[in-house]
Amino acid sequence: MPLLTVSHLYKRFNLEAGFFARYGRFVNAVNDISFSIGKNEAYGLVGESGCGKTTTARLLVRMYQADSGEIKFYHGDKAVAVAGLQKEALRQYREKVRYVFQDPARSLNPRMSVYEVLVSGCRRPLKKRGVKENELRLKAADILEETGLQSGDLEKRPSEFSGGQRQRISIARALLMEPELLICDEVVSALDVSVQGQILNLLYDIRQKRNISFLFIAHDLKVACYFCDRIGVMYKGELMEEAPAENLYRDALNPYTKLLFSSAAGTAGVSETDGAKETRKQNTAQIESASCPFAPRCPQANERCFREHPALTQAGEGHLIRCFNYTAGL
């Protein structure tokens, strides 16, 4: 049984910003996205900056309100529609689904001690569960040690720590409510390579120890394949390919997925064809695109790719692809 399912999710934003911006031209940040996350599963959303990964994650915790579509969270045998949650029910849902942001320097209040950072927003619900203040401090110290820091760090300020240590504090804050799903939004992208490995290993240990699920957002496909069980590749708000992580590097079919792998390897990727530059500019401003979103950059694109929109189809067991031109071994 899944822990969370997303069905035909849409979110669009006005293309122009500001008080005097014209209304009526939109960009589809999330365009008909569907996926599921199983219990104790790590699902990865991968793609370039601006592809809609973070918007999708924020829709899951209701930081944004979806234009349409359905998000369901499964608690035991009961499926809860996230869109209908209000007040106390929404707060309880957000206790079970916690968000770890990309930049800990901005998400941690520099005026607070580490202890105050950890328990802010958690003190009241934990007290409702019967957790006393001294027990809360012990719990915060234990979780801080679990994430690789020391209990004595509780009285320090976030500014006294390195970027990797601040990310550990962010993870500890998310774990304090004992969530069932942890959303990690580019949590290693701003860190040095050696520190990235440490944080990934920490998350892996947490997953094994606590038996929780992950939505892991990244732009580096190789990092996502290391940590995740399944990968969804996004481009311009759409899911272009989904496959088991252990096979994706070998069985990738979509040209955009291949581009991401080649970029991670430091080799030449897919370049935009000269005849498609104007089409790309037009597609960016369209409310609804009638073509494949990747067609302007795809060297395999043909007339049909610019004329029709490909559906997400089955390419094998657990493997979905959005491309007209795929064949076995493409």
Q: How confident is the model at residue 194 (pLDDT cuts 50, 70, 90)?
A: confident
Structural domain boundaries of the chain? 2-236, 251-321
Side-chain half-sphere CA neighbours of 19 within 13 A: 0
Strand partners, 26: 14
CA angle 216, 227, 66 (to 5 degrees): 15
Q: What is the pLDDT of residues 146-185, one digit of tens each?
A: 999 999 999 999 999 999 999 999 999 999 999 999 999 9
Q: What is the pLDDT of residues 239-279, one digit of tens each?
A: 999 999 998 988 899 999 999 988 776 654 444 433 334 43
Mean pLDDT score of the chain, rounded to an integer? 86
Determine the pLDDT at residue 18.
Answer: 55
Considering only CA atoms, which of 3, 34, 1 is closest in space to residue 179? 3
DSSP state of 315: E
| The pLDDT of residue 14 is above 60 | yes
Q: What is the pLDDT of residues 137-147, one digit of tens each?
A: 999 999 999 99
Determine the pLDDT at residue 146.
Answer: 95
d(CA 98, CA 101): 10
CB 326, CB 305: distance < 8 Å:
no
pTM of structure: 0.89
d(CA 119, CA 126): 9
Q: Which CATH architecture has domain 2-236?
A: 3-Layer(aba) Sandwich (3.40)
| The pLDDT of residue 200 is above 90 | yes
Determine the pLDDT at residue 329.
Answer: 45
